[in-house]
């Protein structure tokens, strides 16, 4: 096959009946803001950590809803707060991230 | 003067003695506990400062000026200053004069604690009293001074605005008991001394009062009840003192030497922090100062309530108050006793335990190329969100022909201050380490910083040997005075907004103003410099959402509008970003103003 320098993404199937959403539920209980995220991705677009690890709060929230391990993403967050400033839904993202650290224990 | 009772004792002194011994014992135990709570090195530092003549003298001077004369308060508001110093200094003088009287007239009784306080009850005037007339006069004089202070205090309860305070603290029950006891002490003393004045002698206040009372209360039976009342009120005041705001009186006398010894806050509960909390007089100056107090919902989240909850141990409220604060530092700047509100809150936040602790494995600051450039520009995260700032700084540097390198043009990492203010000290340390390595590897001599948040962090938490951290206002000023940049004055008039981190945080007030003044007209807002109002955008708050901050931003803008300037200038990308949301006139960073109003030496337009 000719190498065009890019590949197709791996097929990712999420079986929502099987995933463990308990962490997401606990996060919502701690920070109800999480529920109003509309996945616009502004947070990821401004994220200081995005160039290094692909961090984006949108990805983190989606990952949690799909029962994935989001700790590698959180490992690079420096709490700089730019995502809070650009969030069109006015989510206090820094508090969300600090609350996230509490649902992993 | 002769003694009226050979025993030199009467049971009415007992309430006073109980209170006196209680408060002395409490404070003595407290001093030892605080000292034991200090880390060993801090304790040694403190002892050393006590025997160093310079700090020892400073301690005495500060205690005299701050605790007795309230010099700082005089500068803030004269009525408030007079009210406090009349009560504190007047009371001190009455106690001192009482001791002098005992030493002069009845030296054998000086070992009795209560004698100087109730002297007039125990003595009778003789022909030789004329020697004491000066003392009697001074006693009455200082009593009058205190009574005038108490009168002001009562007026202040009703009309605090006369004293420059819009809002005052809602006092708790023990504070109220202490307050009313304090108010009652001195009128009762006047009554008691007046009833005995025909026996013990008196002066311009007590003798006429005695005469008046004798006209319609014609016997001596009133004497003892008033002395009892005086003693009981003193006793009540001293018993509630440790549990009320009046604990600030002894605590501040301990806080001043500890601060002069150069101690820093470590933690929020013990040792130095505990003394700060106890030193809070609950005066409420921080309520008006707090930018959050524009919303009624936040009125009880000022530092005065934090210290109160810390004393009560109400953990839920402590967490709430410490998370909400914007850390603008205005309460600390205006605090009369020096309670470090923001630092206390950061220390409280750092007590939280988090299961995840980012190690930043994937995070690497862009390694600056070894171009030999002497100036390394660090724009910080916000220069990505407010690109006009970075663009202006770079344009100025190029006009001036500076050999520079922009460290984080294509994405750098955070300076670590937001992490620090969130109370995650170790994580912040990791970020600091990463940045330090990158900056030192670049071989630059000057680190040019355009964000006051980063600037404060670089100044306080980084050790960068051989690298000078320079704020861009100072740097552009230097370029202008060296002639590398030529100013073209604009006819716009700017009002300069002091960013919290730059002004109160780093003490830089004049440089940006001087710079702006060279390039344009400059106006001053009613509240500026130390009293500048936070824009509301601060990353210090963990719990306030941006919707909740709108009112604060608008209040800060109203203060700037009052200067009638055409535009707002600031030196912080976060302030600029926050103001731009709601401002009705342009908000510029001073770098943009400098860029627009200068040209390079070579390319004269």
What does the pLDDT look like over B268-298, one tens digit per residue?
Answer: 899 999 999 999 999 888 999 999 999 988 9
Report if residue B339 sits inside a domain: yes
Q: Within this chain, do residues B69 and B200 fall inside the same structural domain, yes or no?
A: yes
pLDDT at B384: 86
Residue B579 φ then ψ, to 5°: -65, -40
Q: Within this chain, do residues B145 and B35 fall inside the same structural domain, yes or no?
A: yes
Please report which helix (H) or strand (E) contains residue B57, including its range: helix B53-62
pLDDT tens readout for residues B186-207 = 999 999 999 998 888 888 999 9
Mean pLDDT score across all residues of chain B: 91
pLDDT tens readout for residues A13-23 = 778 888 888 89
Report if residue B451 sits inside a domain: yes
Percent of chain B exceeding pLDDT 90 equals: 72
Domain count, chain B: 4
Q: Which residues of B touch A33 (CB under 8 A)?
A: 545
Report if residue B363 sits inside a domain: no
Provide mean pLDDT across the span A33-39: 91
How far apart are the two ends of chain A, measured CA to CA in Å? 46
Q: Up-side HSE of residue B499: CA atoms within 13 Å toward CB?
A: 30
Nearest to B529 by CA among B558, B555, B495, B554: B495
Packing angle of the helix pair B14-37, B248-260 (nearest 10 deg): 30
Q: What CATH number did the domain enclosing B518 receive?
A: 3.40.50
Q: Are B461 and B424 in contact (CB under 8 A)?
A: no
Q: How far is C-alpha B519 from the geometric centre of its chain's CA atoms?
A: 35
**Inter-chain touch A94–B545, beta carbons under 8 Å:** no
Buried b (16+ CB within 10 A) or exposed e, B83-106: bbbbbbbbbbbbeebbeebbeebb
Q: Which residues of B touch A51 (CB under 8 A)?
A: 410-411
pLDDT tens readout for residues B414-462 = 999 999 999 999 999 999 999 999 898 888 899 999 999 999 999 999 9
- What is the distance between the alpha carbons of residues B16 and B426, in angstroms, rounded to a whole number? 51
Cα–Cα separations (whole angstroms), residue B340 to A15, B79, B137, B520 = 52, 25, 42, 37
Q: Are B206 and B190 in contact (CB under 8 A)?
A: yes
Q: Which residues of A touch B422 (CB under 8 A)?
A: 79, 94, 98
pLDDT at A13: 77
Does A92 have pLDDT greater than 70? yes
- Which range marks the domain in which residue B507 is found? 485-603
Nearest to A71 among B356, B364, B539 (CB): B356
Q: Are B175 and B245 in contact (CB under 8 A)?
A: yes
Q: Within this chain, do residues B285 and B241 fall inside the same structural domain, yes or no?
A: no
pLDDT at B109: 87
Q: Which residues of A have a CB under 8 Å from any CB of B? A: 33, 46, 48-49, 51-53, 71-72, 74-82, 84-86, 90-92, 94-95, 98, 100-105
Q: Which chain A residue's Cα is nearest to B381? A: A48
What ipTM was assigned to the predicted interfaces of this complex?
Answer: 0.87
Nearest to B576 by CA among B593, B563, B597: B593
Report if residue B75 sits inside a domain: yes
Q: Within this chain, do residues B194 and B279 fall inside the same structural domain, yes or no?
A: no
Q: Are A70 and A49 in contact (CB under 8 A)?
A: no
Whether B158 contacts chain A with CB within 8 A: no
Last residue of a domain, one of B246, B266, B297: B246
Q: Are B570 and B552 in contact (CB under 8 A)?
A: no
Q: Which one of A50, A63, A80 makes the best mutation probe of the B interface by having the most chain B beta carbons within 10 Å?
A: A80
Q: What CATH number did the domain enclosing B299 receive?
A: 1.10.1060
Last residue of a domain, one of B246, B276, B309: B246
Pairing label, strands B123-124, B2-3: antiparallel
Mean pLDDT score across all residues of chain A: 88
Report if residue B369 sits inside a domain: no
Q: Within this chain, do residues B99 and B35 fall inside the same structural domain, yes or no?
A: yes
Number of Cβ within 10 Å of residue B41's Cβ equals: 9
Report if residue B3 sits inside a domain: no
CA dihedral B54, B60, B65, B66 (to 10 degrees): 100
Q: Within this chain, do residues B96 and B182 fall inside the same structural domain, yes or no?
A: yes
Does B605 have pLDDT greater than 60? no
Does B546 have pLDDT greater than 90? no
**Inter-chain touch A101–B354, beta carbons under 8 Å:** yes
Task: State the residue for tokens 């006429």.
Answer: B208
Q: Which residues of A touch B411 (CB under 8 A)?
A: 48, 51
Q: Which residues of B touch A64 (CB under 8 A)?
A: none
Q: Which chain A residue's Cα is nearest to B543? A: A95
Provide mean pLDDT across the span B176-193: 95
Nearest to A104 among B355, B359, B544 (CB): B355
Last residue of a domain, one of B319, B351, B383: B351
Q: How far is C-alpha B322 from the geometric centre of its chain's CA atoms?
A: 17
Q: Within this chain, do residues B313 and B389 fall inside the same structural domain, yes or no?
A: no
Residue A83 φ then ψ, to 5°: -65, -35
Report if residue B135 sits inside a domain: yes
Whether B363 contacts chain A with CB within 8 A: yes
- What is the distance between the alpha carbons of residues B448 and B470, in angstroms, rounded to a whole number? 5
- CB contact set of B364 (below 8 Å; sequence gap of 6+): A52, B413, B434
pTM, two decimals, is 0.91
Confidence of residue B538 (pLDDT cuts 50, 70, 90): very high
- What is the distance between the alpha carbons of residues B493 and B568, in angstroms, rounded to a whole number? 9
Q: Within this chain, do residues B108 and B196 fall inside the same structural domain, yes or no?
A: yes
CA distance B434 to chain A (A): 12
Q: Are B52 and B112 in contact (CB under 8 A)?
A: no
**Inter-chain touch B431–A78, beta carbons under 8 Å:** yes
- What is the distance between the alpha carbons of residues B274 and B255, in angstroms, rounded to a whole number? 10
Percent of chain B exceeding pLDDT 70 equals: 98
- Burial of residue B161 (CB within 10 Å: 0-12, 13-18, 19+) is exposed
Q: Within this chain, do residues B158 and B236 fall inside the same structural domain, yes or no?
A: yes
Coil, strand or helix at B378: strand
**Inter-chain touch B545–A92, beta carbons under 8 Å:** yes
Does B310 have pLDDT greater than 60? yes
Confidence of residue B252 (pLDDT cuts 50, 70, 90): very high
Higher pLDDT, B605 or B202: B202
Q: Up-side HSE of residue B310: CA atoms within 13 Å toward CB?
A: 29
Does B586 have pLDDT greater than 90? yes
Q: Within this chain, do residues B208 and B227 fall inside the same structural domain, yes or no?
A: yes
Nearest to B509 by CA among B521, B487, B488, B527: B527
CA distance A17 to chain B (A): 27
Residue B485 φ then ψ, to 5°: -120, 145
Whether B584 contacts chain A with CB within 8 A: no
pLDDT tens readout for residues B373-409 = 889 999 988 888 899 999 999 999 999 999 999 988 8
Longest distance between any two alpha carbons in chain A, whole Å? 50
Residues facing residue B359 across a β-bridge? none
Q: Which residues of B touch A77 (CB under 8 A)?
A: 358
Q: Within this chain, do residues B318 and B291 fall inside the same structural domain, yes or no?
A: yes
Q: Within this chain, do residues B503 and B429 fall inside the same structural domain, yes or no?
A: no
Report if residue B15 sits inside a domain: no
**Which of A26-30, B338-342, B363-367 is the least confident region?**
B363-367
Confidence of residue B532 (pLDDT cuts 50, 70, 90): very high
DSSP B160: G
pLDDT at B535: 93
DSSP H helices in B204-302:
206-216, 223-240, 248-260, 272-279, 285-289
Confidence of residue B130 (pLDDT cuts 50, 70, 90): low
**Inter-chain touch B542–A75, beta carbons under 8 Å:** no
């Amino acid at each position: 096959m000719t190498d065009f320098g890019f590949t197709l993404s791996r097929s990712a199937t999420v079986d929502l009946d099987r995933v463990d959403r308990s962490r997401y539920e606990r996060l919502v209980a701690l920070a109800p803001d999480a529920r109003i995220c509309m996945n616009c991705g502004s947070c990821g677009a401004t994220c200081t950590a995005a160039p290094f690890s692909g961090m984006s709060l949108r990805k983190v929230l989606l990952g949690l809803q799909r029962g994935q391990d989001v700790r590698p993403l959180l490992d690079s967050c420096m709490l700089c707060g730019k995502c809070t400033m650009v969030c069109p839904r006015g989510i206090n993202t820094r508090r969300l991230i600090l609350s996230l650290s509490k649902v992993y224990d | 003067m002769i003694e009226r009772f050979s025993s030199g004792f009467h049971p009415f002194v007992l309430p006073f003695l109980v209170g006196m011994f209680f408060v002395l014992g409490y404070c003595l135990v407290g001093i030892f506990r605080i000292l034991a709570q200090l880390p060993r090195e801090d304790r040694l530092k403190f002892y050393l400062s006590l025997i160093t003549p310079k700090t020892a003298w400073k301690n005495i001077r500060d205690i005299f000026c701050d605790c007795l004369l309230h010099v700082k308060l005089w500068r803030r508001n004269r009525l408030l200053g007079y009210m406090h110093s009349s009560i504190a200094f007047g009371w001190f003088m009455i106690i001192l004069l009482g001791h002098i009287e005992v030493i002069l007239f009845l030296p054998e009784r000086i070992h009795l604690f209560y004698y100087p306080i109730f002297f007039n009850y125990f003595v009778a005037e003789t022909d030789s009293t004329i020697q004491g007339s000066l003392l009697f006069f001074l006693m009455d004089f200082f009593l009058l001074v205190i009574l005038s202070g108490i009168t002001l205090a009562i007026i202040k309860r009703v009309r605090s605005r006369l004293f420059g305070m819009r809002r005052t603290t809602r006092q708790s029950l023990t504070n109220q008991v202490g307050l009313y006891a304090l108010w009652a002490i001195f009128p009762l003393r006047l009554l008691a001394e007046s009833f005995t004045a025909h026996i013990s002698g008196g002066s311009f206040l007590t003798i006429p009062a005695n005469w008046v009372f004798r006209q319609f209360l014609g016997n001596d039976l009133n004497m003892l009840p008033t002395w009892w009342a005086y003693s009981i009120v003193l006793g009540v005041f001293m018993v509630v003192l440790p549990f009320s705001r009046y604990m600030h009186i002894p605590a501040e006398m301990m806080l001043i030497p500890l601060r002069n010894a150069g101690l820093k806050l470590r933690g929020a509960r013990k040792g130095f922090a505990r003394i700060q909390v106890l030193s809070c007089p609950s005066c409420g100056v921080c309520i008006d100062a707090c930018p959050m107090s524009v919303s009624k919902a936040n009125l009880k989240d000022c530092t005065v309530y934090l210290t109160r909850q810390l004393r009560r141990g109400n953990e839920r409220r402590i967490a709430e108050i410490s998370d909400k604060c914007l850390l603008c530092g205005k309460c600390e700047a205006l605090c009369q006793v020096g309670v470090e509100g923001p630092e206390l809150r950061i220390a409280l936040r750092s007590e939280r335990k988090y299961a995840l602790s980012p190690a930043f494995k994937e995070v690497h600051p862009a390694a600056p190329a070894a171009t030999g450039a002497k100036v390394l520009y660090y724009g910080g995260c916000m220069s990505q969100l407010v690109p006009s700032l970075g663009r202006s700084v770079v344009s100025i540097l190029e006009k001036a022909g500076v050999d520079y390198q922009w460290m984080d043009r294509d994405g750098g990492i955070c300076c670590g201050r937001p992490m620090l203010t969130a109370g995650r000290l170790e994580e912040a340390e990791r970020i600091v380490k990463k940045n330090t390595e990158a900056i030192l590897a670049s071989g630059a001599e000057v680190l040019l910083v355009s964000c006051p948040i980063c600037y404060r962090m670089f100044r306080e938490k980084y050790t960068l040997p051989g690298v000078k951290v320079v704020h861009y206002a100072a740097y552009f000023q230097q370029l202008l005075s060296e002639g590398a940049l030529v100013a073209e004055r604009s006819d716009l008039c700017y009002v300069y907004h002091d960013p919290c981190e730059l002004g109160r945080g780093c003490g830089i007030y004049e440089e940006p103003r001087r710079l702006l003044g060279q390039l344009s007209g400059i106006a001053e807002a009613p509240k500026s410099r130390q009293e500048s109002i936070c824009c509301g955008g601060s990353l210090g708050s963990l719990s306030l959402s941006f919707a909740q901050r709108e009112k604060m931003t608008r209040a800060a803008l109203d203060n700037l509008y009052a200067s009638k300037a055409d535009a707002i200038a600031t030196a912080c990308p976060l302030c600029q970003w926050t103001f731009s949301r709601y401002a009705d006139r342009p908000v510029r960073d001073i770098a943009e103003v400098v860029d627009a109003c200068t040209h390079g030496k070579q390319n004269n337009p």
